[in-house]
Amino acid sequence: MGLVYEAVQSGIGGFRKVVAIKLIREEYSSIEEFRNNFIGEAKLVADLIHTNIVQTYHLGRINEQYFMTMEFVTGWNLEEFLDRHIETEQYVPADLAVFIVSRICRGLGYAHRKRDMHGRLLGIVHRDVNPKNIMVAKEGDVKLTDFGIAKALDLMYNKEGEVIAGKDEYLSPEQARCEITDHRADLFCCGIVMSELLLGYNLFETADSNQTIQNILEMELPNFTDVRSDVDQRLNHILHRAMERSRGGRFQSAEEMLTGLENFIYGDGYGPTNEKLAAYCSDLFGTDGQNAALRWFNGETQLVES
């Protein structure tokens, strides 16, 4: 329902800054529900200042067209990152897969704990953690974006319990059952993303959306050590716990999941860093990846002046 453009913000003295401009497609901009959610997303993300979340700088309007000015991330979304591995017939290294998801847990933990100016917990649940909404910058930073269907106190239009919010193959069981979610829904989705990074495919997805949802609710999870030999029992346990159907059996916070992931990658000493991920992406994409960031949202970009 949205478009993102690369833009150049100009100022006095030759000041120039590359930014992203996000706006609602024209056919949706007249619908009050979408407009209100867009404004709510901008207000929400404006106060989410964290290295693992794409920043929002400004909300504006030209005639009836609302737009957000956002941080422009030069790099790749995780779907492109995965596709490149499929093209080159290789697995994502297990330690880097865990590192990427650990950075998303850092950003989610911050968002889940966020309070408003009156000290009220906002109750943020992203509800759309999937590879298209995770960016890997050329410098190795991992950033979560698109809070467009997030729920948060008093900010976002929300019909939870009446409709399913999210993409079928990246739903938590409670989303799939049309139940009220809490922060633990995002952690289940982190488990799906991590398993996809390790396996090269979404283990729940089928051509039939109803069957995909049924898989999320009932499919027995594999022993990941049998599927991929360099996944040990510690990582297998983390994956199974993250994708536990019962919320009580899952990681209870993003911080708890982050601790488990970091113990896995750093427990024996030196582990992955932003610099290591950046060097890996440089080898993976080479010069082909220089402008991949321009394709990060539905393949539609245009250079504009603002």
Question: Would you say residue 284 has pLDDT above 90?
Answer: yes
Question: Please, what is the Cα angle at 142 between 241 and 240, to 5 degrees?
Answer: 10
CATH for the 76-285 domain, from 2.60.40.10, 1.10.3210.10, 3.10.129.10, 1.10.510.10:
1.10.510.10
* Neighbour order of strands in the sheet with 134-137: 75-77, 134-137, 142-144
Q: What is the per-residue pLDDT across 144-163, written as a single tens digit (0 to 9) for each?
A: 999 888 888 776 666 666 66
Lowest-pLDDT choice from 49-53, 88-92, 96-100, 265-269: 265-269
* pLDDT, average across residues 63-89: 93
Catalytic positions: 128
Distance, in Å, from the CA atom of 199 to the CA atom of 82, rounded to the nearest integer, reads 10
- Residue 30 or 175, more confident: 175
> What is the structure's pLDDT at 300?
38
pLDDT of residue 149: 81
How many residues does this entry show for the chain?
A: 306
Q: What are the structural domain ranges in the chain?
A: 2-73+291-297, 76-285
Q: Residues 16-35: what's their mean pLDDT?
A: 87
First to last CA, the chain: 22
CATH code 3.20.20.150 for 2-73+291-297: no
Q: φ and ψ at 146, to 5 degrees?
A: 60, 85
